């Protein structure tokens, strides 16, 4: 609210300025704005330096202790070193790098020097440090950063200034702030606009940049038909459910949780952790599996990676080789029931020796590569064979035929994607097992077919 009020007021100010000369304006108008505030002395100062009014008393006493000192140090050393503001964040924050700390540094900088000397450098440094503090996606922090710019100084006052690049470094810096917002997908809000208008004026480069962002961002906001939420579920079972429904892309597919993660302590004091096993299967897949030729093996394959924003999860497939064409059985429906001469069921064909006319054939020539059917998918806390065979035996409850089909485990040793160290602990512990057929006595339920 207040932000838009500001905007309105600024616009009024503009209107009035048409009647008054530019030099006069600077003196009179801000004064007008402050006519109500008590303390004429204050007003006098403000009259002279109008653009500083927002910086007045923005910090409290406690915050201005050591950081202030630091900043002071910075300014003293300023003439000697080129890199000035980078360290201040590091030193100020110490161990805890949070939004609060970041804001505190910005506040201190603002309150330290009424002239905001070196604010461009400070803003660049702050932009660089934002990801470290984890505030790179926070629009309020960006607004706070923009607030560091002194107001109304860089607003062009006449057409010559407007024609040329007025205060290029500052404008560039403003654009840079917006650019970083853009890169992190942060949508500017009305406060951003108010600030930019106050700082750079209506037709400046940062405002143009702002307008472009506001044109494109909303348009692109929903381009992804399969959006991933910003905050992923932290529970591995929930995450697995989310990822599996995402891959399955079948609204009928049903999730089954075969095992919840749990930790047991045996009598001997050993700790046994049971990993979670979450599977998904659609009715179509189930009926395909039911028709599978029991003489042919099915394969458990994986792990395959799936990226969800910053996170990588792994899934496993139960699939079969494609059926060779000579073994395909085509289901015949009684021709009597689908021909056009009957009105009970749906007429599904006409017996004509005619095909689509060449001119009307709008279909594309598509080469179709046949692949083996995928019967089910799962995600598990551990990628070892024991866990996955638990999944298979769980599947047997709905697909009893799986008991007669030999199951072959083709597990890769580990994820094939590069991972950062933070993701490393999510990587399922893999055992190097390739093309290993389970022995009969180990898993008697689902490998009867491969007795050797």
Partner 1 sequence: MSLNKFIVLSRSVRRGRNLFAARVAQTGEYLYQFQSQRFIRSSSRSLAYAKDLFLGKVNKKEVFPYPEISNEELEELNQFVQPVEKFFNESVDSAKIDREANIPPETLDGLKELGLFGIQIPEEYGGLGLSNTMYARLGEITSLDGSIAVTLAAHQAIGLKGILIAGTDAQKAKYLPKLATGEHIAAFCLTEPGSGSDAASIQLRATLTEDGKHYLLNGTKFWISNGGWADIMTVFARTEVVDKDGQKKDKITAFIVERAFGGVTSGKPEDKLGIRGSNTTEITFEDTKVPIENVIGEVGDGFKVAMNILNNGRFSMGGAGAGVVKKLIELSAEYAGTRKQFNRRLSEFGMIQDKFATMALNVYVMESMAYLTAGMMDRPGLPDCSLEAAMVKVFSSEGTWICVSEALQVLGGLGFTKNYPYERYLRDCRILQIFEGTNEILRMYVALTGMQHAGKILTGKIKEMKKGNLGVVFEILGKKIKDTVQTADFGLTGKDGVVHPSLTESAKMFEQNAACFGSTVEGLLYRYGKTIVDEQLLLKKVADVLINLYAMTAVLSRSSRSISIGLRNHDHEVLLTNTFCKDAHFKNNYMLSQLQRYSPENDDANIKKIAQDVLAKRAYICSHPLERTF
**Helices in 159-249 by DSSP H: which ranges?**
159-163, 168-183, 190-200, 205-221, 236-248
Stretch that binds partner 1, among 213-221, 271-279, 407-415, 430-438 (CB under 8 A): 213-221
**Helices in 49-167 by DSSP H: which ranges?**
66-77, 86-93, 99-112, 119-133, 139-146, 159-163
Residue 217: exposure state from Cβ atoms within 10 A (0-12, 13-18, ≥19)? middle
SS3 content of the chain, % helix, strand, coil (to 5): 45, 15, 40
* Selected binder of partner 1 within 356, 369, 418, 432 (CB under 8 A): 356
Assess 364 for contact with partner 1 (CB under 8 A).
no
* Selected binder of partner 1 within 1, 15, 83, 251 (CB under 8 A): 251
Assess 226 for contact with partner 1 (CB under 8 A).
no
430: helix, coil or strand? coil
Assess 32 for contact with partner 1 (CB under 8 A).
no
Residue 313 to residue 272: CA distance in whole angstroms: 23
Assess 169 for contact with partner 1 (CB under 8 A).
no
Stretch that binds partner 1, among 49-57, 100-108, 235-243, 339-347 (CB under 8 A): 339-347
Give the CB-side neighbour count of residue 320, counting CA atoms within 13 A: 20
Buried b (16+ CB within 10 A) or exposed e, 381-404: bbbbbebbbbbbbbbbeebeebbe
Minimum distance from CB of 191 to partner 1 (Å)?
Answer: 13
The residues, any chain, with a CB within 8 Å of residue 226's CB and separated by 6 or more, are 246
Assess 342 for contact with partner 1 (CB under 8 A).
yes
Assess 441 for contact with partner 1 (CB under 8 A).
no
Assess 164 for contact with partner 1 (CB under 8 A).
no
Stretch that binds partner 1, among 96-104, 227-235, 350-358, 427-435 (CB under 8 A): 350-358
* Selected binder of partner 1 within 79, 264, 336, 367 (CB under 8 A): 336
Per-residue CA distances from 329 to 292, 323, 332 (Å): 11, 10, 9
Minimum distance from CB of 183 to partner 1 (Å)?
Answer: 17
Stretch that binds partner 1, among 123-131, 202-210, 211-219, 282-290 (CB under 8 A): 211-219
Assess 340 for contact with partner 1 (CB under 8 A).
yes
Contact status, residue 204 vs residue 187, Cβ threshold 8 Å: no
* Selected binder of partner 1 within 79, 271, 357, 441 (CB under 8 A): 357
Assess 337 for contact with partner 1 (CB under 8 A).
yes
Buried b (16+ CB within 10 A) or exposed e, 319-353: bbeebeeeeeeeeeeeeeeeeeeeeeeeeeeeeee
Assess 291 for contact with partner 1 (CB under 8 A).
no
Q: Which is nearer to partner 1, 39 or 218 (CB)?
A: 218
* Selected binder of partner 1 within 60, 95, 327, 351 (CB under 8 A): 351
Q: Which is nearer to partner 1, 267 or 360 (CB)?
A: 360
Q: Give residues in contact with partner 1 (CB under 8 A).
A: 187, 189, 214, 217-218, 221-222, 251, 333-334, 336-338, 340-357, 360
């Amino acid at each position: 609210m207040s932000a838009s009020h500001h905007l309105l007021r600024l616009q009024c100010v503009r209107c009035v300025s048409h009647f008054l000369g530019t030099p006069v304006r600077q003196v009179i108008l801000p004064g007008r704005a402050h006519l109500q505030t008590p303390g004429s002395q204050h007003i006098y100062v403000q009259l002279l330096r109008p653009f500083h009014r927002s910086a007045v008393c923005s910090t409290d006493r406690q915050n201005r202790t050591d950081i202030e000192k630091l900043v002071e140090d910075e300014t003293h050393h300023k003439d000697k070193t080129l890199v000035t503001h980078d360290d201040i964040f590091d030193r100020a924050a110490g161990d805890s790098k949070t939004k609060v700390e970041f804001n505190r540094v910005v506040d201190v900088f603002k309150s330290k020097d009424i002239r905001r000397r070196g604010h461009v450098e400070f803003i660049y440094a702050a932009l660089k440090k934002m990801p470290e503090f984890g505030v790179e996606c926070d629009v309020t922090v960006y607004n706070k950063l923009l607030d560091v710019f002194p107001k109304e100084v860089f607003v062009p006052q006449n057409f010559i200034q407007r024609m040329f690049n007025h205060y290029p470094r500052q404008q560039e810096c403003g654009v840079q702030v917006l650019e970083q917002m853009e890169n992190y997908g942060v949508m500017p809000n009305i406060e951003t606009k108010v600030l930019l208008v106050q700082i750079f004026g209506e037709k400046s480069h940062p405002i143009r940049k702002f307008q472009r962002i506001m044109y494109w961002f909303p348009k692109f906001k929903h381009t992804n038909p399969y959006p991933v939420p910003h905050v992923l579920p932290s529970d591995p079972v929930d995450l697995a459910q989310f990822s599996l429904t995402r891959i399955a892309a079948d609204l009928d597919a049903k999730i089954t949780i075969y095992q919840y993660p749990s930790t047991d302590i045996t009598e001997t004091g050993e700790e046994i952790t049971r990993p979670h096993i979450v599977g998904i299967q659609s009715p179509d897949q189930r009926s395909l599996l039911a028709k599978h030729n029991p003489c042919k093996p099915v394969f458990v394959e994986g792990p395959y990676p799936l990226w969800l924003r910053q996170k990588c999860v792994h899934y496993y497939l139960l699939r079969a080789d494609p059926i060779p064409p000579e073994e395909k059985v085509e289901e015949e429906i009684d021709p009597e029931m689908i021909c056009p001469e009957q009105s009970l069921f749906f007429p599904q064909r006409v017996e004509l020796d005619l095909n689509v006319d060449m001119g009307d054939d709008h279909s594309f020539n598509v080469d179709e590569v046949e692949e083996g059917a995928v019967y089910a998918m799962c995600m598990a806390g551990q990628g070892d064979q024991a866990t996955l065979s638990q999944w298979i035996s769980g599947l047997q409850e709905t697909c009893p035929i799986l008991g007669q089909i030999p199951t072959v485990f083709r597990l890769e040793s580990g994820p094939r994607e590069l991972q950062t160290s933070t993701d490393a602990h999510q990587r399922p512990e893999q055992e190097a097992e390739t093309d290993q057929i389970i022995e009969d006595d180990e898993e008697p339920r689902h490998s009867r077919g491969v007795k050797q």
